[in-house]
Amino acid sequence: MSAQIPTKRLTLRDIAAMRRRGEPIAMLTAYDATMAALVDRAGVDMILVGDSLGNVVLGHETTLPVTLDDMIRHAGAVKRGSARALLVCDMPFGSVTDPATAIENAVRVMKETGVEAVKIEGGIAMVPTVEKLVGHGIAVMAHIGLTPQSVHQMGGYYMHGKDEASANRLREEARALEAAGAFAIVLECVTPVLAAEISRSLTIPTIGIGSGQDCAGQVLVINDLIGLNTTPPPSFAKPRADVASVISAAVGEYIADTKAERGPIPLPRRAE
């Protein structure tokens, strides 16, 4: 019997090489070991342990209640379940309020989970934090456009870059974050034309979500991809399966079989 060849986990150099070759990058979220194993074996390039777990796993309306301990717990599970994909962990709301706090919390994430990188939401204001983290040997994926941690400040969820002022701000943010050392930038709900322009202007990969087809890569919430939801997915997400219906049908059959196969069990007689 031949020895099993160990799987080599992708590195930041591999992701950078994909960008240089023009090879699209496929990224998905995962929040537990089983889902991580499934998407990893399917060949996804990067797994994001997203603070979207607040919505799809913990039942919150926004990502704001998610804690650093939540992220560490789920990122550790994803690490244990995967073998090939490069792993990125979201830094939750309130964990990167200043560079010193960001370093302390990001170091904890790296030490306790084993992920390869962290993701930080925000534009120009986050440039000093990205620089500090990169200077301390921590790989950073940036995130601009729709930033769910700022949903209240932004006034809701909507497309960004529609007017020239917004577009110029996003262009400036992308250039500044690349210069600060981010290895990739998520563009969420950025107009497709602008997302394509920004993608062509950077040497690092852009990872789009709801931003059209012309980013260097794409990320989706796994639940939206496989139809594992109790509410409709975002308009930009195209479900490739209907796992929720499969689960409902299986559970329904189980309930029916359990009730049909078992008769009533009489109570024991009590001594008079």
Binding residues for Mg(2+): 51, 90, 121
Residue type at position 109: V
The span from the first CA to the last CA of the chain, in angstroms, equals: 69
Q: How many residues does the chain have?
A: 272
Catalytic site includes residue 188: yes
| Cβ neighbour number for residue 104 with a 10 Å cutoff | 11
> Known binding site for 3-methyl-2-oxobutanoate: residues?
51-52, 90, 119
* 129 and 96 Cβ atoms separated by less than 8 Å: yes
What CA–CA distances, in Å, run from 19 to 83, 96, 138, 185?
Answer: 22, 28, 20, 12
Phi-psi label, residue 94: left if phi above 0, alpha if psi -120 to 50, beta otherwise: left
Pairing of strands 25-29, 117-121: unpaired
- Please report, as a single letter, which amino acid is at residue 139: A
Other C-beta atoms closer than 10 Å to the C-beta of 95 total 22
Catalytic residue among 164, 172, 188, 197: 188
- Whose CA is closest to 92, among 107, 112, 72? 72
Helix, coil or strand: residue 117: strand
Rounded Cα distance, 190 and 32, in Å: 29
DSSP 8-state secondary structure symbol assigned to residue 148: G
Torsion angle in degrees (nearest 10) through CA of 82, 87, 93, 98? 140
**Which of 93, 47, 98, 91 is CA-nearest to residue 72?**
91
Q: Binding site, residues?
A: 51-52, 90, 119, 121
Residues designated as active site: 188
